[in-house]
């Protein structure tokens, strides 16, 4: 989601202007379990529909509202979705409807839609909700014929509403839908889990306790697996990959070894659908009893429950849902009579459309594979993201005995360069442990390239990086110093420690630093080694990477602060907030932060603006009670004109945020 240059922006505008929804009616509904971010998807679908000239309707209470009709189907306006971006759950309501499962219920629903000329449905829910929508679409023609025969609609209404188009968006914290890397609500649920784990870790460490946490997910272990990876849990139980027979002894041995290594706490995460290899349920209480009986450790059980489903959506979920909502409306506008129902999915960093029923069938195949004890097949069907997370967790959590390690004479140096970014320590931990697993000797370099030429280099072991995942900043130490003036000394240190590879984790300074080292290879043989950079900067300005470590955390900080500002300003009139973000000459934080916070305008360096643009924007202020500007740090110099003008009006409160 890089910031677009001006020409690209004009092309995008031209594309949208060529789309027309005139004469079309779109209905948006949420169904099944609620998930954070659903409101962002509703907002995006409504505003995109209105932007292209279509009529847009809310259907309150999901399929129940469609069956009941009346006030449950309400026309939406631009203002009706204001201030819902940051609200959790779904403000238009969701209900599980038995009546819609019957033919008679679907007939009532069809009648209610035809009365309002609604022939485009945007359904936000799980696989059950989307399957119901597809069945409704398949029966649409026969339902219209039946309504015509009963005299409830006329021939003209039958002709005008002959086609029903369906587009789905998956809203579920479980992330159990195949075909998408992430469903709406999953990231927010992970935030809730990690917040609880961070809080539990402090009390567990104080008393040397073992905590067993049960997380949601039904028959999908995604939440358990990724939260275990994020917090460095000692053990995780997921239904897709049950532990091998004898797991009780293996787990207790690992917990005991960790305590022997002076670790003061143990964290075990259990998915609510966890099973063993014989499809027997594994419960938190059973694990607690086992640990107490075999090890005598003070053990507590925490079941998070619906806390994971509540609260405000994360920045990621707001952005994901907004992008999906726009794509869903585009899919409806472009649909023809032969277009199958589709679901908007996230693949990599792109919103794509996939055949709805193919994804539903693949999702059902996962449960079938688990029932037949084909667990490796179940993991494969969950998708690339799930497989990679499981493989990474195993690599980082299970230390091999020295006798099992491959022989290697490879020495790898790891260092942080540039400004600190949240997640740097987790990246160092991963690199160190993967390197040790491959048999390499790992070295840490303190204080970036400055520490490198000063010889601040030492070997780093597996246990040295324990507990690093949740700590912010840079535990290795980081500086912005570039290596260009100290190439002789860095080459000497590489020769002394026999460094065979460099891993640099950092921002743009790291990028430039590696370029300087690689450019000096003709002069220094020591630099003729593999060099790898891992982007870690809140600015997200490293070429070739969609997302850098730290930028998501920075976006959440921006979003949380904007939410508080908007809440405090809701009781006042005619107040303007200008929020300055970091990012240097890159407008990523401002642009995406504005999308996640629902800002009225975003000003970035990549898109120059002048006083005329600002005057046009100011004309709309008199019609609004709250106006929020996000301004990129180092934005266009004409911003000073904006500040001077706003101060004279007496309508501005300025808040500068530095993250």
Residue among 34, 68, 127, 174 flagged as catalytic: 174
Q: Element (H or E) spanning 188, and its range? A: helix 186-207
CA distance 369 to 374: 5
CA distance 446 to 459: 11
Are 494 and 531 a contacting pair, CB within 8 Å?
Answer: no
Query: How many other β-carbons are positioned within 10 Å of the β-carbon of residue 445?
Result: 30
> Considering only CA atoms, which of 497, 576, 587 is closest in space to residue 540?
587
CA distance 223 to 237: 11
CA dihedral 388, 392, 393, 398 (to 10 degrees): 140
Are 344 and 225 a contacting pair, CB within 8 Å?
Answer: no
Give Cβ neighbours of residue 48 (< 8 Å, ≥ 6 apart): 325, 326, 329, 330
Give Cβ neighbours of residue 502 (< 8 Å, ≥ 6 apart): 412, 413, 415, 514, 517, 529, 530, 531, 532
> Which residues are bridge partners to 343 per DSSP?
168, 354
CA distance 632 to 635: 5
Give Cβ neighbours of residue 181 (< 8 Å, ≥ 6 apart): 345, 346, 347, 348, 383, 384, 385
Residue 501, judged by CB atoms within 10 A of its CB (0-12, 13-18, 19+), counts as middle
> Which residues are bridge partners to 580 per DSSP?
631, 656
SS3 per residue for 601-651: EEECCCCCCCHHHHHHHHHCHHHCCEEEEEEECCCCCCHHHHHHHHHHHCC
Q: In whole angstroms, what separates CA 481 from the centre of its chain?
A: 33
DSSP tally for the chain: helices H, then strands E: 22, 21
CA distance 40 to 47: 11
- Strand spans (E) along 5-92: 25-30, 55-59, 73-75
Are 246 and 281 a contacting pair, CB within 8 Å?
Answer: no
Q: Which two tokens stand for residue 197?
A: 């784990």
285 is catalytic: no
CA distance 5 to 605: 10
Are 291 and 249 a contacting pair, CB within 8 Å?
Answer: no
CA distance 36 to 52: 27
Give Cβ neighbours of residue 126 (< 8 Å, ≥ 6 apart): 31, 32, 33, 170, 171, 172, 174, 176, 177
Give Cβ neighbours of residue 579 (< 8 Å, ≥ 6 apart): 558, 561, 562, 565, 599, 628, 629, 630, 631, 655, 656, 657
Are 306 and 33 a contacting pair, CB within 8 Å?
Answer: no
Catalytic positions, please? 174
């Amino acid at each position: 989601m890089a910031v677009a240059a001006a020409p690209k922006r004009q092309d995008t505008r031209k594309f949208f202007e060529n789309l027309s929804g005139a004469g079309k009616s779109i209905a948006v509904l949420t169904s099944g379990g609620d998930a954070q971010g659903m409101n962002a998807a509703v907002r995006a679908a409504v505003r995109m529909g209105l932007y292209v000239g279509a009529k847009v309707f809310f259907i309150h209470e999901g399929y129940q509202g469609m069956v009941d009709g009346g006030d449950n189907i309400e026309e939406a306006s631009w203002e009706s979705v204001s201030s819902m971006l940051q609200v959790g759950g779904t403000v238009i309501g969701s209900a599980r409807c038995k009546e819609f499962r019957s033919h008679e219920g679907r007939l009532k629903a069809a009648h209610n839609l035809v009365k309002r000329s609604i022939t485009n449905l945007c359904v936000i829910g799980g696989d059950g909700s989307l399957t119901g929508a597809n069945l409704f679409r398949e029966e649409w023609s026969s339902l219209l014929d039946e309504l015509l025969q009963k005299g409830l609609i006329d021939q003209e209404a039958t002709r005008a509403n002959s086609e029903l188009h369906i587009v789905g968006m998956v809203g579920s914290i479980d992330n159990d839908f195949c075909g998408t890397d992430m469903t709406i609500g999953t990231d927010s649920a992970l935030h809730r889990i990690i917040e609880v784990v961070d809080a539990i870790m402090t009390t567990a460490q104080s008393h040397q306790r073992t905590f067993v946490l049960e997380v949601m997910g039904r028959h999908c272990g995604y939440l358990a697996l990724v939260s275990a990876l994020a917090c460095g849990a000692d053990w995780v139980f997921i239904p897709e990959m049950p532990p091998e027979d004898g797991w009780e002894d293996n787990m207790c041995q690992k917990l005991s070894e960790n305590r022997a290594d002076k670790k003061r706490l143990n964290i075990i995460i259990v998915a609510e659908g966890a099973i063993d290899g014989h499809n027997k349920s594994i419960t938190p209480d059973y694990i607690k009893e086992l640990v107490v009986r075999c090890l005598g450790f003070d053990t507590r059980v925490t079941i998070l429950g619906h806390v994971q489903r509540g609260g405000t959506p994360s920045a990621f979920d707001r952005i994901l849902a907004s992008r999906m909502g726009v794509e869903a409306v585009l899919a409806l506008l472009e649909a023809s009579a032969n277009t199958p129902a589709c679901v908007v999915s996230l693949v990599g960093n792109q919103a794509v459309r996939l055949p709805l029923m193919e994804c539903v069938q693949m999702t059902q195949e996962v449960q079938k594979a688990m029932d037949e004890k084909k667990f490796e097949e179940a993991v494969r069907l969950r998708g690339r993201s799930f497989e990679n997370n499981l493989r990474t967790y195993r690599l980082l959590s299970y230390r091999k005995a020295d006798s099992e390690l491959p022989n290697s004479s490879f020495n790898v140096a790891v260092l942080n360069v540039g400004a600190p970014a949240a997640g740097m320590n987790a990246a160092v931990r991963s690199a160190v442990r993967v390197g040790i697993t491959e048999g390499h000797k790992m070295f840490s370099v303190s204080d970036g390239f400055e520490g490198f030429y000063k010889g601040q280099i030492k070997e780093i072991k597996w246990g040295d990086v324990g507990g690093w995942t949740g700590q912010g900043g840079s535990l290795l130490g980081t500086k912005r110093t570039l290596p260009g003036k100290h190439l002789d000394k860095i080459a000497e240190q590489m020769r002394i420690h026999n460094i065979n590879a460099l891993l640099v984790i950092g921002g743009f300074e790291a990028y430039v630093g590696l370029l300087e080292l690689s450019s000096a290879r003709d002069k220094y043989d020591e630099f003729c080694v593999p060099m790898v950079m891992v982007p870690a900067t809140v600015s997200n300005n490293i070429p070739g990477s969609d997302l850098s470590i730290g930028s998501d955390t920075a976006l959440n900080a921006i979003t949380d602060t904007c939410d508080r500002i908007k809440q405090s300003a809701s009781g006042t009139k005619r107040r303007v907030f200008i929020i300055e973000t970091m990012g240097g000459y890159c407008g990523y934080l401002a642009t995406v932060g504005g999308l996640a916070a629902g800002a009225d305008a975003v000003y970035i360096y990549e898109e120059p603006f002048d006083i005329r643009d600002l005057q046009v924007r100011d004309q709309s202020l008199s019609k609004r009670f709250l106006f929020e500007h996000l301004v990129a740090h180092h934005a266009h110099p004409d911003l000073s004109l904006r500040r001077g003008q706003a101060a004279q009006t007496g309508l501005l409160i300025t808040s500068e945020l530095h993250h």
